[in-house]
A and B are shown apart, each in its own frame.
Chain A
């Protein structure tokens, strides 16, 4: 074993939390208990959990919106869940959900409905913390392969590189932009190759192997904190539609079935058991404990107060003094 057992068990715990958190959404949508519109990251959880496990308190995080479990762990599971479904939370009062969430006290940069804008705004945090602050932390800039084509993203990648901003950009490459395949809209073999044109170093890895993802992200964040901006491109697969309810007519179900064989939770379990690090019973016990946390979070969230007009309308909410 390269690491102590707790390292592996903690990693699995976060991964199973993320999977169960995501899968709770379609379950509740089916019962009609859940309002809203959800973009799940089922199949891609390893990358965001690797980020969660490797980031330090001083770091700032500007993830892409398809990151519910990462937001939940960073901002507080119950509070985030309440916010996510548009109920009154201590985060953004239920007006933001995951698409517009911003929580400076948790070092979470603004999320965004406009692809590319959270990366561009995030880069501004990178500028401020590098050039106007003496923090130890760096900016973790999450992005999907689709958003990488936005103009503003390429503009700020260039600025990050030219000013040596303390930024690690982590590309979550699921090879699909809603329904459009990467090879139909890009000549790059891997989106991470974009880094070459920006003068940024890049590492490539398997984003469905959470242990590999953790190691690459650890290296990337250490470099970023030293003022060496860098890119990591991690390959993964989106097992569900772009949004819940998307019938995925653009994709052969056989492809998804094949991808299920390589999904990160299954792979992590197989690895831990085959190496003798954990037994199936131990892993099942972790699943059960995390499932309870997820259930409790959603239960309290659906019972939380719905914002009233007084809660969401007011000049003081639009303008600062």
Chain B
């Protein structure tokens, strides 16, 4: 057990997977000497000079090159500097990587990881602060994970690299430097598609990850004091979603709140809420509710905090639901 930031945990996972499998290679902008914008790839080029590839500013082309290399039998990990820039590689993800298995009639697989940071927390405006996961919900053939802790970042990165399918791996820039205990090793691999019950409770199920999860952790003492017992679930994987864990919880508590950092309109939480509304209808004591960002671009600097669900709005919603 060692204390690590999420950056260090990701770096450790990448290093271990590159050691384990010579097919793993990294590609992205400024990922060699600079170690990538946030330091996730620091030092790896020194160990494997040929397997850490700096690209020109050419995301669409080089992301597709990773798709090609994956189909050739390699296991590329492509870094997109900010998740907001994933629109530049959208075709590589939703039209190419995700469809290769189907188009080969199940003969091939396309093991490529697209990773990068999303979310607010840096105050760097509308093109560097978005939570982009919902953009990818309507494309079959993809997996999508979002770790909230250094331990899960470590375990999910190892699982993503070993997965034989394209995986979107969204990190959170506000959590990059938050330290946490990390245990390494094969038994610490976090299976894709498995949510984590962070805290058991009886009155309401709250599903939230990354920065929103941290906010709810902060609220717990206040809400417990108000006599509300929260069951808190970190989905960890958005696609394929762990319905089993959340449905079991909703059947117990009868209430479900989903808190996402992305825009509320068209958010992935709507899809999950709709499905759980069907499967758990009889257990529900009230409507499933969702919180998300205001339907607006994100402004620069501290004003970004006006846009995403605040601790106050989350606490208020939980109290309304349990009242």
Name A's B-contacting residues (CB within 8 A).
91-96, 100-104, 109-110, 112-114, 117, 120-129, 131-133, 151-156, 158-159, 162, 314, 316-321
Query: Is A123's CB under 8 angstroms from B105's CB?
Result: no
* Cβ–Cβ < 8 Å partners of B322 in chain A: none
Contact of A162 among B56, B68, B72, B100 (CB under 8 A): B56
* Bound complex: CA A201 to CA B74 (Å): 29
Determine how close the nearest CB of chain A comes to the CB of B86; give it in whole angstroms: 15
Contact A320 B164 (CB under 8 A): yes
Taking CB atoms, residues of chain A closer than 8 Å to B65 are 120-121, 123-124, 127, 156, 159
**28 sample A-B contacts, Cβ–Cβ < 8 Å, listed by A number:** A91-B105, A93-B105, A96-B103, A96-B104, A102-B108, A103-B104, A104-B71, A110-B71, A113-B95, A120-B61, A120-B64, A121-B64, A122-B68, A123-B61, A123-B64, A124-B67, A126-B68, A129-B72, A132-B72, A133-B72, A152-B61, A152-B91, A159-B58, A159-B61, A162-B56, A318-B101, A320-B101, A321-B164
- Check if B101 sits within 8 Å of A128, measured CB to CB: no
Complex Cα distance, B141 from A94, in Å, reads 19
With beta carbons under 8 angstroms apart, the residue of B56, B103, B165 that contacts A92 is B103
Q: Taking chain A's interface residues, is the majority helix, strand, or loop, or is none over half, making it mixed?
A: helix
A95 touches B103 (CB 8 A): yes
Beyond the given pairs A124-B64, A158-B56, 12 more chain A to chain B contacts, judged by CB atoms under 8 angstroms and listed by A's residue number, are A95-B103, A102-B104, A109-B68, A110-B68, A110-B103, A113-B95, A124-B65, A124-B66, A124-B72, A125-B68, A154-B61, A317-B102
B286 close to chain A: CB less than 8 A: no
Closest A residue to B99 using CB positions: A100
A58 to B143, CA, bound (A): 33
Shortest C-beta distance, A83 to chain B (Å), equals 9
For B98, the closest partner residue in chain A by CB is A318
B228 CB–A CB distance under 8 Å: no
Q: In the complex, A117 Cα to B99 Cα: how many Å?
A: 13
Given A124-B64, A125-B72, A128-B69: A95 and B91 interface contact (C-beta under 8 Å) = no
Q: Which residues of B contact A (CB under 8 A)?
A: 23, 25, 50, 55-56, 58, 60-62, 64-74, 91-92, 95-96, 99-109, 111, 140-141, 143, 164-165
With the chains together, A15 CA to B10 CA distance in Å? Answer: 55
CB-based contact A121/B96 at 8 Å: yes
- Total CB contacts across the A-B interface at under 8 A: 139
Q: Which of B65, B95, B141, B165 has the most CB of A within 10 A?
A: B65
A152 and B60 within 8 A (CB): yes
Identify the interface centre among A94, A152, A314: most chain B CB within 10 Å of its CB.
Answer: A152
Partner of A117, one of B58, B62, B73, B91: B91
Q: A152 touches which one: B55, B64, B105, B165 (CB < 8 A)?
A: B64
Report the Cα distance A20→B102, complex, angstroms: 31
Q: A218–B127 Cα gap in the complex (Å)?
A: 47
- A92 touching B74 in the complex, CB below 8 Å, given contacts A114-B91, A155-B60, A158-B58: no
Q: Which residue of B lies closest to A94 (CB)?
A: B105
Determine the chain B residues whose CB is within 8 A of the CB of A132 once the complex forms. Answer: 23, 25, 69, 72, 74
Please give me the 9 A-B residue pairs with the lowest Cβ-Cβ distance, nearest first.
Answer: A124-B68, A155-B61, A93-B105, A120-B64, A155-B58, A320-B109, A124-B65, A128-B72, A320-B164
A301 to B70 Cα, complex, angstroms: 32
List the A side residues contacting B111 at CB < 8 Å. 320
- Selected from A96, A131, A151, the residue in CB contact (under 8 A) with B60 is A151
Closest-CB distance, B303 to chain A (whole angstroms): 33
Q: Which residues of A contact B99 (CB under 8 A)?
A: 100
Residues of B within 8 Å of A131, CB to CB, are 50
Q: Are B100 and A110 in contact (CB under 8 A)?
A: yes
In the bound complex, CA of A114 to CA of B64 (Å): 12
- A residues near B23, Cβ cutoff 8 Å: 132
With a cutoff of 8 Å between Cβ atoms, the chain B residues found around residue A151 in the complex are 60-61
**Residue picked from B55, B66, B99, B102, most chain A C-beta under 10 Å:** B102
Could you tell me the distance between the alpha carbons of A156 and B108 in the complex, rounded to whole angstroms? 24
Q: A114-B95, A132-B74, A320-B165 are in contact. Are A100 and B103 (CB under 8 A)?
A: yes
CA distance A129 to B99 in the complex (A): 22
How long is the Cα–Cα vector from A179 to B65 in the complex, in angstroms?
30
Pairwise interchain contact B141-A319, C-beta atoms closer than 8 A: yes
A112 to B100 CA separation, bound complex (whole angstroms): 10
Q: Which residues of A contact B73 (CB under 8 A)?
A: 128
